Amino acid sequence: MEPIRPCHRTGGFGFRKFARVLLACSLLAFCYSPVEAAGDSAALDGIHEHFTEELQKYVGEGLVDYKRWRQHPEGIKKYLDELQALSPEQYRAMPEDGKKALWINAYNAFTIWLVLKNYPIQATSKFYPASSIRQVKGFWEDNFISVGGQKVSLEQIEHNVLRRDVQDPRFHFAVVPGSLGGARLGRVAYSSRGIANRLARATREYLGNEQNVRVDTANNTVYVTQLFRWFPLDFAEGTDLVKRFPPPTDDEIVVDFLRRSGPAGLRSRLERKEGDPPFKVIYEPYDWSLNEIDCSR
């Protein structure tokens, strides 16, 4: 666009008219951006509401109706397009809570989009459930989305952004990797408003589900999902053991995190008296079955 140059005073086009034209152009540029102002979390939260609209159509009790959603993918595609329109400048100006909500939603929406592209999933491996996303080659590594100028795969969102930059272990219970072993998908997208409380609630819900965590007090044993074996050091940030020497074991980190972050019932079962032996931790198999409504058990 050519810059507007003020005309000579002759012809009646004075400074005030020029200022009005310049203001009008500025307003047009402002309205064009899907995020109305750089770093405006409220505007971005408005975009996330488009994701909420889709979730409420196709999600129930944490599971997804992929079969029906596949017939109408235009809504989630529009939402992903809106995320991809976010400029690097807008992203850099966002507050941390806004970025956290953005990446959680981007991960969840992009996962859904990739499942829809590959649905119904064709079984190619005997090592995973027939409907699992593990049957789709390169699901995490070979598909990319651009957000705020960053071209990323699902793997990069998880490891390079959420684990490295966000460093809030509770995100593990907010991102939904398309499997029954992961977190249940909510019917409301994340937003910058109240995200700390939302993450705390998601964590309690996941840890309070006995399919993910259960305590055998009689045998002094805690059974947990493999998620905790894969990322034990992530959970050290939420414990009292970070600065301890000698360093804590992975099992100690996991139990301490459960004791601090779980629901009240779980915390009470994990209480120990001085001199009590430590809990034994057993890491149970992760359920890679697709998190679709037809798989509800």
pLDDT at 6 over 50: no
pLDDT of 3? 36
pLDDT of residue 237: 79
- Which pLDDT belongs to residue 23? 43
Q: Is the pLDDT of residue 43 over 90?
A: no
The pLDDT of 17-40, averaged and rounded, is 44
Position 241 confidence tier, pLDDT thresholds 50, 70, 90 = confident
pLDDT for 156-204, tens place per residue?
Answer: 999 999 999 998 999 999 999 999 999 999 999 999 999 999 999 999 9
pLDDT the model gives residue 40: 65
Q: Which pLDDT value is given to residue 244?
A: 83
Q: At residue 169, what is the residue type? A: P
Q: Which band of pLDDT confidence, cut at 50, 70 and 90, is reported for residue 245?
A: confident
Residue type, 173: F
Q: Residue 294: which pLDDT band, with cuts at 50, 70 and 90?
A: confident
pLDDT at 17 over 50: no
Q: Is the pLDDT of residue 243 over 90?
A: no
Which tens digit of pLDDT belongs to each residue from 74-89?
Answer: 999 999 999 999 999 9
Task: Find out whether 174 and 283 touch, Cβ atoms under 8 Å.
Answer: no
Give residue 172's pLDDT. 98
pLDDT at 74: 98
What is the pLDDT at residue 41?
73
Between 22 and 4, residue with greater pLDDT: 22
The residues pairing with 60 across neighbouring beta strands, listed in sequence order, are 63
- CA nearest neighbour of 222 among 179, 278, 175: 278
pLDDT of residue 35: 52
Return the HEC string of 61-109.
CCEECHHHHCCCCHHHHHHHHHHHCCCHHHHHCCCHHHHHHHHHHHHHH
- Residue 230, φ and ψ in degrees, nearest 5: -70, -35
Alpha carbon distance 109, 176 (integer Å): 9
Give dist(CA 101, CA 205) in Å, integer: 18
Q: Is the pLDDT of residue 31 over 80?
A: no
Q: How many whole angstroms separate alpha carbon 175 and alpha carbon 131?
A: 19
How high is the pLDDT of residue 7?
Answer: 35
Overall residue count recorded for the chain in this entry: 297
Q: Please state, in angstroms and rounded to a whole number, the distance separating the CA atoms of residues 124 and 146.
A: 29
DSSP string, 228-260: HHHSGGGGGGGSS-TT-SSPPPHHHHHHHHHHH
Give yes or no for residue 209 having a pLDDT over 50: yes
